Amino acid sequence: MTPFIRTFIALIALLITGCKTVPQVEEGEIEVNFWNGFSGPDGQQMEKIVADFNREHKGKIRARMQIIPWGTFYDKVTLGLAFGGAPEVFVLHVNRFPEFASHGVLAGIDDLVQRDGMDGEEFVKTPWEATFWQGKQMAIPLDCHPLGLYYNLDLFEKAGIKAPPTNLAEFKDVARKLTIDKNGDGRPDQWGFAYTWLHSNSYCFLNQFGTSLLSEDLTRSGMSTSEAENAMKCMLDIIHSGLAPRPEGQDAWLGFQTGKVAMAMEGVYMMTSLTKQKDLRFAAAPVPQFGPKKAVWAGSHLLTMPSGLSDKKREAAWEFIRYLSENSIIWAEGGQVPVRKSILETDRFRKLTVQSEFAKQLDYVVFEPQSVNYNLVATFGDSAFEAILNQTQPAKQALATASRRINNILERQ
């Protein structure tokens, strides 16, 4: 093989994997490869933490971070676990955790947690409990990213609105004041509200009305229920009342960024896209309580390591995981909510005004169903949400169709 071909292959491999050039591992250092999908500003924050770790552990442990876009991340992790080459530490979204844990490819860490006195009382309850599978702990939560209400301060002030809404009645009143149709043609120049990601927005309403994609015992659909129908009716009523556009053909987030939408529900991870928007003054608040139950959709990034590591590698990987968790205030500054209570109580975190507002919801966040079959059936729920809110199918019919398809999958498992 010629030097040119070797160089060409190396360059192609670099482009495919998304590797970054990092200092070489020194003699005596243990290498810990760390895979994640943090390809945005969050990745820059994580790079800072990794650089600090390497500086403090020089001569002992060297962490190598590799960013792989989420679109291909799980395929690459799966191949690495199945055929070799998996990293010592990798991130899993909380809704993918059951799938990997159920196949026995994640390392149990109960002994390490107990040895180092890492008490669950130090963490927010829901993210901590999500790291267990069949009674065995296999991950540490890095963060929690709940949905929240973003609102335009200039538009609020212009309309004489002094505070964000906290319930459905207040929400409708505020949205009505913020919806402006100058021409009276039924096509407002400014919307009071707009649905963004239908997946998270719809789950939030389902949760507040006491249901989810699956039943509580995870054995059947939770969609063909009166609770799900009431949740969808509530979402539709906001559109029918002229307070929000139909999602079809609307870039709601761009509308919020450019001042054409006054309120939008999105995750805390979208904050950084707003800070870069010129002339946009915004703030955040907890999601209003639309239904009878206080609940909000949320996700979480979990730190895991594969089973089968040598003792030295396992100890080094655990040291790295602990460091990421203990220094997650830096991660929070990039647009996340930490889950260590000691960090949440610091002045440094309280100064992060947007993240602090989102954190007010941590006691009632709801994750997506922790089912090994979740990723096989989630698309049926998304299709129903889209059909209902774009009014291409009646709610009852769309929910029944989703339920039938979900139950068919579950019955075959």
**Cα distances (angstroms) measured from residue 325 to each of 135, 290, 303, 321, 329:** 22, 34, 9, 6, 9
Question: What is the average per-residue pLDDT within 72-90?
Answer: 96
Check if the beta carbon of residue 211 is closer than 8 Å to that of residue 225.
yes
Q: What is the DSSP string of 159-196?
A: TT--S---BHHHHHHHHHHH-B-TT-SS--SBBS-B--
Using CA of residue 107, residue 108, residue 113, residue 116, what is the dihedral sign? negative
Whether the per-residue pLDDT at 64 is higher than 90: the answer is yes
Strands 296-299 and 145-152: antiparallel
pLDDT class of 25 with cuts at 50, 70, 90: low
What is the phi-psi region of residue 18: left when phi exceeds 0, alpha when psi lies from -120 to 50, beta otherwise?
left
CA-CA distance, 333 to 46, in Å (whole number)?
10
Q: What is the pTM of this model?
A: 0.91
Beta bridge partners of 181: none
pLDDT for residue 2 is more than 70: no
- For the residues 184-206, what does the mean pLDDT come to? 94
Of the listed ranges 122-126, 135-139, 249-253, 316-320, the one predicted with least confidence: 249-253
Strand ranges of the sheet holding 301-304, from the earlier edge strand across to the other edge: 61-67, 30-36, 89-93, 301-304, 140-141
Task: Please say if the pLDDT value at position 408 is more than 70.
Answer: yes
Q: Which range, of 27-31, 83-87, 289-293, 295-299, averages the lowest pLDDT?
A: 27-31
If you ran DSSP here, which 8-state letter would residue 380 be given?
A: H
For the cut 50, the answer to whether the pLDDT of residue 13 exceeds it is: no
Lowest mean pLDDT among 23-37, 281-295, 396-410: 23-37
In the chain, what percentage of residues exceed pLDDT 90? 87
* Contact predicate 57/30, CB 8 Å: no
Confidence (pLDDT) at 24: 59
Residue 180 predicted with pLDDT over 70: yes
Percent share of the chain, pLDDT over 70: 93
CA dist., res. 165 & res. 89, Å (int): 41
Query: Which of 105-114, 266-275, 305-314 is the least confident region?
Result: 266-275
Radius of gyration of the chain from its Cα atoms, rounded to whole angstroms: 23
Higher pLDDT, 105 or 19: 105
The pLDDT of 275-287, averaged and rounded, is: 94
Q: Which residues contact 51 (CB under 8 A, 6 or more apart)?
A: none
Distance linking the first and last C-alpha atoms of the chain: 49
- Provide the pLDDT for residue 40: 84
Confidence of residue 20 (pLDDT cuts 50, 70, 90): very low
User: What's the rounded Cα separation, in Å, for the pair 19 and 21?
Assistant: 7
pLDDT tier, 332 (very low <50, low <70, confident <90, very high otherwise): very high
Note the pLDDT of residue 27. Answer: 65
Determine the residue type at 21: T
Residue of 223, 186, 189, 190 whose CA lies nearest to 207: 223
Q: Give the E-state strand segments of 188-285 in sequence order.
A: 263-267, 282-285
Looking at residue 95, its pLDDT comes to: 95
pLDDT of residue 278: 85
Lowest mean per-residue pLDDT among 26-30, 115-119, 367-371? 26-30
pLDDT at residue number 250: 75
Q: How far is CA 304 from CA 58, 78, 145, 378, 380, in A?
A: 23, 13, 18, 23, 29
Which of 7-16, 249-258, 297-306 reaches the highest mean pLDDT?
297-306
Task: Tell me the average pLDDT across 233-243.
Answer: 97
